[in-house]
Amino acid sequence: MKSKEYIENKLNELFTKFGDIKIRYEYRANTCSHLIEVIPFSFFDKNEDYMKLEANIEDEFESLFPDESIIFISEGSLSEIKRSDFNLGYAAEDLIEEVLNLEVGKSYLNREGDVVKIVRKGFHSTTYPYISEEGEFYRSNGNYLLGKKNKEDLIKEFKPQKKKDTK
């Protein structure tokens, strides 16, 4: 069995046993690491059965796949899922948002309804790669945000309404 198959099987077991959780999984080939986000934190913070099962998964994984790492995270973790490969407990509308192909020179609306004009694409940040006239960093909402909706997410192109001539 390959490591990804192993993890998907174990995550299905976790989800079956603890149906009140949401799980996202991402494999990062550059570091041979498997990132698993389980939310809400309040569910498993004091759930001893869950914590034992998670520890058993980690131990077994590390013995089966010693050249790879497995990392469990939750809300507020420094690491975050950037592109999920596998999800459990999420409704389809939580996972898919319209992907914007942002263009320099065009204006977009952010989640707070502010108009943002993109003046350049930055190359130092993959999380917030677009830069506005004011020097603020933004991103397209096309990555799987799953409830982590930020004001920096540009959600649709801003098209000013033409004023009607009242004469």
Confidence at residue 77, expressed as pLDDT on a 0 to 100 scale: 82
At 41, give phi and psi (nearest 5°). Answer: -60, -35
Using a cut of 0.75, tell me whether the model's pTM lies above it: no
Contact criterion met (CB below 8 Å) for 39 and 75: yes
Domains by residue range for the chain, with CATH: 3-90 (3.30.70.2210), 107-157 (no CATH)
pLDDT band for 145, please (50, 70, 90 cuts): very low
Confidence at residue 40, expressed as pLDDT on a 0 to 100 scale: 86
Confidence at residue 60, expressed as pLDDT on a 0 to 100 scale: 97
How would you list the strands of the sheet with 69-73, edge to edge? 69-73, 33-39, 22-28, 86-88
Amino acid letter, 64: L
Q: State the average pLDDT over residues 106-130.
A: 67
Indicate the pairing of strand 33-39 with strand 69-73.
parallel
Extract the tokens encoding 141: 């909402």
